[in-house]
A and B are shown apart, each in its own frame.
Chain A
Amino acid sequence: MQDAVTTIAATGAAARSQTGERLRLIARNIFPFVVVGTIWEIVAWAGIFPHRLFPTLEEVAASFVRLTVAGILPHHAIETVIRLLSGFALAALIGVSIGVLMGRSRRAEDIFLPLVSICAPIPGLAYAPLFLLWFGLGNISAVLLVGFVSAFPIIFNSWTGVKAVKEIWVRSAQSMGADDRRLFSHVILPGALPYILTGLRLGLAQAWRILVAVEMLAAVPWGLGWLIFGAREFLNTDAMLAGIAVIALIGLGLEKFVFQKIEDYTVVRWGMVTA
């Protein structure tokens, strides 16, 4: 605990950004990667594994640059991101509507809850062959599957969120003469928003996790998952690792620039999350 306290104090001090402190922090964050990179290089140079299967980091970096300059890597990445966003948009639209409906109306809850609770515990990828069979190979299957799978956390969280709106808020708004529409847009929606945002965040994370695998299975013409899977056929381990690096970057970008920003601008600012 002592250590944890000092760590928090240390990061806090660094955030106040004396330049020296900041440099130390950066160095501290880079150090582990240097260690792991060095180990990787040593293993690669030592030739314990066949060179084709375990390329050096320079080769990975070189093929990363080559593929980026040739426009292949960006094309794959853009297709993946578009697929992710369209699947997620579908999930957000359907998920929030069903979730809110379930939270507001007892009848809707009774209708949807059994269906949702039966479909949700099955891992998303298990549906993939079924979707491929029904909707064919390619984009439609991939987007639909991503949307279908990431809708569940959104439904569950929106539903819980609407149910968690305090009864007393609803009653006081009603006694002050709010009609149904105002009640919904001024009380229920803001009250449920932290949950809905959590649901969206979980849904996007889920969509991201599954999308790569869906691309491998659905044989889409472009996409990072397909790039990695295709590279295996030709033993292009360097291209594969370059693709994985891009996937990591996109994932990190989603985490840093989407999830945290959304949280900062909304629920943390409204003081609804005491994180």
Chain B
Amino acid sequence: MTENGQRTRSFIRAAITLAIAAAIYEGLARSGYFAPALLPTIPTVAKTLFGMFADGSIVEHAAFTMYRVMFGFGLAVVVGIPLGILMARFSAIENFFLPLVSALMPIPSFALVPLFMLWFGIGNLTTILIVFYAATFPMVFNTWSGVRSVNPLWLRAAGAMGADEHKLFWKVIIPGASPFIITGMRQSFLRAWIAVVGAEMIAASDWGLGWVIFDAKEFLNADIMLASLAVIGAIGYAFERLVFGSIERATVQRWGMVRLAKG
């Protein structure tokens, strides 16, 4: 009862905070101290957002962005998970790739955007490669440490019960490493999402949410900017909560392994 009461109170307070923040913003926007082009009122932003949905332009931009993210992220998963597993299982591969990965990891993906623009031109290829670069490292690292941290006792137990290499891999190592792998996917998606917006801004192609925001700056369309920001935030949030949340619930949480993932 008190738990419930507390929750309602928190909810009401959150609503009040947001309402006050919105009111302050609205007041500033209407006060005329700032140019209306720079600080559009909330109804204007909402109208713009609605208009962009109505003519379908925002959907198309979002589709281009999603295509680039999913392509790059998919590549990162396809390359990162096997590489991480191989690194953890074979020390020769680990010795070769670990120094390379450690040296490349501190280079922010955006530093490579101009280089990739020279090499691959402006457009999808550059953006996808940047996303791929940004998303691969967390994937490799988490898979690697996940496989390495599989409890040796489990391996011995499975071995003693007569599991062969194949079985050991699919029934013990992969499930044992899965909390780390899923954490890795989560982190890499987050990185990919950040990278795609930046890459779209710098390597200005014709479509994409990042490009919309950057392009709107040229025309002082702050309303379009804020509307696109809202869409970007909503998509990122949806993926983080809905997609990865449900993957986690369906796998590691059900197997009772989340504590491992958090610790």
Contact = CB atoms under 8 A, between A and B. Distances in A.
Interface of A: 1, 3-7, 10, 28-33, 35-36, 49, 53-54, 107, 110-115, 118, 121-130, 132-134, 208-213, 216-217, 224-225, 228-229, 231-232, 235, 237, 240-241, 243-244, 247-248, 250-252, 254-255
A213 B118 contact: no
Closest 10 CB pairs of A and B: A251-B106, A213-B110, A110-B13, A129-B217, A123-B194, A122-B233, A125-B198, A232-B114, A114-B14, A209-B108
A134 B90 CA distance: 53
B213 A129 contact: yes
Given A240-B114, A244-B107, A128 B233 contact: no
B91 A126 contact: no
Nearest to A211: B108
B112 interface: yes
A232 to B, nearest CB: 4
A228 B111 contact: yes
Interface in B1-36: 9-10, 13-14, 17-18, 21
A123 B17 contact: no
B230 to A, nearest CB: 9
A251 B115 contact: no
Contacts of B108: 208-213, 247, 251
A247 B111 contact: yes
B119 A229 contact: no
Contacts of A115: 17-18, 21
B98 to A, nearest CB: 8
Contacts of B91: 3-4, 6-7, 10
A33 B90 CA distance: 19
A235 to B, nearest CB: 7
B237 interface: yes
25 contacts: A29-B99, A32-B95, A32-B99, A110-B9, A110-B10, A114-B18, A121-B240, A123-B194, A125-B201, A126-B229, A130-B222, A130-B226, A133-B222, A209-B110, A210-B108, A211-B108, A212-B110, A213-B202, A217-B214, A232-B115, A243-B111, A248-B106, A251-B106, A251-B107, A255-B106
A229 B111 CA distance: 9
Given A30-B99, A243-B111, A247-B106, 8 more contacts: A33-B103, A123-B193, A123-B197, A126-B210, A209-B109, A210-B194, A232-B115, A248-B106
B225 A133 contact: yes
B117 interface: yes
B148 A217 contact: no
Contacts, number: 177
Contacts of B209: 126
A84 B158 CA distance: 50
A122 B232 contact: yes
A95 to B, nearest CB: 18
Nearest to A247: B111
Contacts of B202: 213, 216-217, 229
B225 A129 contact: yes
Nearest to A230: B114
Contacts of A7: 91, 94
A248 B94 contact: no
Contacts of B14: 110, 113-114
Nearest to B220: A133
A56 to B, nearest CB: 16
B53 interface: no
A62 B106 CA distance: 23
Interface in B133-190: 147-148, 150, 152, 155, 173
B249 interface: no
A107 B12 CA distance: 12
A5 B156 CA distance: 13
Give the most central of A118, A213, A241, A250: most B CB within 10 Å: A213
B159 to A, nearest CB: 10
A252 B101 CA distance: 12
A244 B110 CA distance: 10
A229 B194 contact: no
Contacts of A235: 118
Contact of A228 (B38, B115, B213, B226): B115
B47 interface: no
A244 B155 contact: no
Given A129-B214, A232-B118, A217 B201 contact: yes
Nearest to A240: B115
A56 B229 CA distance: 42
Contacts of A107: 13
